[in-house]
């Protein structure tokens, strides 16, 4: 693992808040910064050098190189390819990410290529999209047709030519070559990984997932030529590719994840960690690891700190040996679960605790607290909560559980000595001989009292609890459960 070599410094920029262009040319070489959800630019880096040369055929290619001040030509140095999104350029990918800042800190080199034709990478597409390619887009552009053989793909040829150039100019560590992409650059990265990932140690991508028909054949077998590869997948919660927060989007994200899980032979049970809005699932693989990240409330694109997370959690501790095996050493940040976390899901009898699936005596119940108005019984929902068996809460918090003989009431003695008492149908409970209201009434199901999971964790243990559509996650630190992570936990508990 690389030792920290430099210091990250964010430079003050000149905001251009009136700009509405996707990637204004005026940014190049300036201190202008443009900010939007998902794309947050930095001041144009001083070491970012643009090159123009015919290196594949008679067409001119353009790329940017970033070499940190700490580069030592006597030492083997990692190399990162960072692939821009559609309608972007390599320099745009450089300023919309933190790859140059992380490179300055860690001492690796980054190359930012331009797609060779109309700012679109030549990527595989499904049958419907291939047919649509015969028609011009509303903006007059066409997608680039993918050749029959991946070796004939000009953008893939460009990557290999640039790799040759990087090796000739710099002392590149061939066991530590990585690729990352955003949106269409993610499609390009994923495509390269499926065919030629055997030259990479790891790959990462943010935004658009790959169409499932390109990953699996009609029998559900994976389509892959290059074999196992360490993978980091970023999926912004509000990605919108495909459009809409639908079950189809959840399924496509899940199947993209499971594609690499099958190739890498990953353990199906991940280590889950939610830090703020970053929802991580770390999968250990027989051949290589997989990091799955869902970012709460983020749109299609990549966050400014995406590069930092990719490097710290995966790239910094991953290399490919000469025999082709992927080796994971200690990364800058450990890929491990939250020290304390509990998760429950609506209608699921199983729960998540101590990074494993455990059994409850009864399923979690999604319960609405209602407020009634007037003699006609009009109602209004004042809150929705997941009610779980008291015996489960007593077990996870190491408390003494004392149900009454008829199970309509129960007492709990917490580890710190606090005494609680509950009764069927009452929103009140007794805590150390004081009456106190809960978020909703106690329910009696399957011969046991159920109380709000959210209330119990927050009121009695000051835990942070976040919920998403019938899934709740409680930890001892700030965390916000996201859409794809809720779906992942739901699948585990089912």
* Confidence (pLDDT) at 128: 62
Distance of CA 334 to the CA centre of its chain: 16
3-state secondary structure of 380: strand
pLDDT tens digits in sequence order for the chain, 494 residues long: 344 457 888 899 988 877 767 677 888 889 988 876 555 689 999 999 999 999 999 999 999 999 999 999 999 999 999 999 988 899 999 999 999 999 999 999 999 999 987 788 988 876 565 555 555 555 544 456 667 788 889 999 999 999 999 999 999 999 999 999 999 999 999 999 999 999 999 999 998 789 899 999 999 999 999 999 999 999 888 876 444 457 888 888 999 999 999 999 999 999 999 999 999 999 999 999 999 999 998 888 888 999 999 999 999 999 999 999 999 999 999 999 999 999 999 999 999 999 999 999 999 999 988 766 655 666 777 889 999 999 999 999 999 999 999 999 999 999 999 999 999 999 999 999 999 999 999 999 999 999 999 999 999 999 999 999 999 999 999 999 999 999 999 999 99
SS3 of 344-367: EEECCCEEEECCEEEECCCCEEEE
pLDDT at position 1, please?
37
User: Which structure tokens are listed for 341?
Assistant: 């976390």
Q: Which pair of structure tokens corresponds to residue 357?
A: 């699936």
Q: Where are the domains of the chain?
A: 14-328, 341-476
pLDDT of residue 2: 40
| Dihedral sign computed on CA atoms, order 214, 218, 222, 224 | negative
pLDDT of residue 35: 74
Q: Which CATH superfamily does the domain covering 341-476 fall into?
A: Copper amine oxidase-like, N-terminal domain (3.30.457.10)
- pLDDT reported for residue 278: 97
What is residue 219's three-state secondary structure? coil
Residue 67, CA distances (Å) to 107, 171, 179, 327 in order: 8, 12, 16, 26
Instruction: Please give the pLDDT value at position 301.
Output: 81
Q: CB 27: neighbour CB atoms within 10 A? A: 22
d(CA 207, CA 410): 49
* Angstrom distance (rounded) from CA 443 to CA 430: 16
Reading the block at residue 269, the tokens are: 């049970």
CA distances from 94 to 29, 65, 66, 162, 388 (A): 12, 9, 9, 17, 48
Q: Going by CATH, does the domain composed of 14-328 fall within 3.40.50.1820?
A: yes
Distance (Å, rounded) from C-alpha 395 to C-alpha 454?
Answer: 16
Q: Which residue is listed with tokens 């997948």?
A: 233
Q: How many residues does the chain have?
A: 494
* Nearest CA among 227, 210, 112, 225 for reference residue 158: 112
- Residue 332 is predicted with a pLDDT of 97
Quote the pLDDT of residue 473: 98
Task: Render 136-200 in DSSP notation, one character per residue.
Answer: --TTS--PPPPPSSGGG-HHHHHHHHHHHHHHHHS-EEEEEEEEEEETHHHHHHHHHHHHHGGG-
- Note if the bond before 438 is cis, omega within 30 degrees: no
Backbone dihedral angles phi then psi of residue 2, each to the nearest 5 degrees: -70, 145
Looking at the DSSP bridge assignments, the partners of residue 386 are 366
């Amino acid at each position: 693992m690389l030792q920290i070599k430099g210091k990250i410094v964010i430079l003050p920029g000149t905001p251009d808040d009136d700009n509405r262009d996707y990637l204004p040319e005026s940014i190049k070489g300036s201190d202008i910064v443009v900010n939007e959800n998902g794309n947050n630019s930095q001041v144009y880096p001083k070491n970012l050098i643009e090159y123009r040369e015919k290196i594949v055929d008679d067409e001119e290619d353009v790329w940017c190189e970033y070499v940190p001040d700490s580069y030592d030509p006597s030492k083997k140095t990692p190399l990162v390819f960072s692939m821009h999104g559609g309608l972007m350029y390599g320099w745009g990918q450089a300023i919309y990410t933190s790859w140059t800042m992380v490179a300055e800190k860690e001492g690796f080199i980054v190359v930012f290529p331009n797609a060779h034709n109309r700012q679109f990478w030549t990527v595989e597409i499904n049958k419907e999209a291939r047919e649509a390619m015969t028609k011009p887009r509303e903006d007059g552009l066409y997608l680039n047709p993918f050749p029959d053989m991946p070796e004939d793909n000009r953008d893939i040829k460009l990557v290999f030519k640039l790799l040759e150039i990087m090796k000739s100019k710099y002392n590149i560590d061939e066991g530590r070559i990585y690729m990352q992409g955003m949106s269409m650059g993610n499609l390009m990265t994923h495509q390269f990984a499926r065919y030629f990932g055997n030259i990479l140690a790891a790959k990462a991508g943010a935004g658009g997932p790959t169409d499932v028909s390109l990953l699996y054949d009609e029998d559900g077998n994976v389509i892959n030529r290059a074999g196992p590869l360490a993978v980091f997948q970023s999926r912004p919660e509000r990605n919108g590719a495909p459009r809409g927060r639908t079950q189809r989007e959840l399924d496509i994200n899940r199947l993209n994840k499971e594609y690499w899980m099958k190739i890498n032979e990953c353990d199906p049970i991940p280590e889950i960690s939610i830090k703020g809005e970053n929802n991580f699932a770390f999968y250990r693989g027989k051949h290589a690891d997989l990091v799955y990240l869902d970012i709460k409330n983020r749109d299609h694109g990549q966050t400014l700190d995406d590069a930092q997370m990719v490097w710290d959690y995966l790239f910094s501790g991953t290399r490919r040996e000469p025999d082709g095996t992927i080796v994971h050493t200690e990364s800058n940040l450990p890929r491990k679960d939250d020290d304390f976390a509990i998760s429950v899901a609506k209608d699921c009898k199983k729960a998540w605790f101590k990074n494993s699936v455990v059994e409850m005596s009864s399923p979690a119940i999604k319960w609405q607290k209602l407020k009634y108005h007037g003699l006609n019984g009009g109602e209004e929902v004042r809150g929705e909560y997941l009610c779980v068996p008291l015996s489960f809460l007593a077990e996870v918090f190491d408390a003494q559980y004392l149900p009454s003989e008829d199970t309509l009431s129960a007492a709990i003695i917490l580890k710190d000595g606090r005494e609680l008492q509950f009764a069927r149908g009452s929103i009140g409970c007794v805590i150390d001989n004081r009456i106190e209201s809960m978020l909703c009434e106690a329910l009696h199901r399957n011969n046991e009292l159920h109380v709000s999971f959210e209330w119990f964790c927050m009121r009695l243990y000051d835990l942070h609890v976040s919920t998403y559509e019938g899934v709740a996650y409680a930890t001892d630190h700030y965390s916000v459960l996201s859409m794809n992570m809720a779906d992942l936990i739901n699948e585990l508990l089912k």
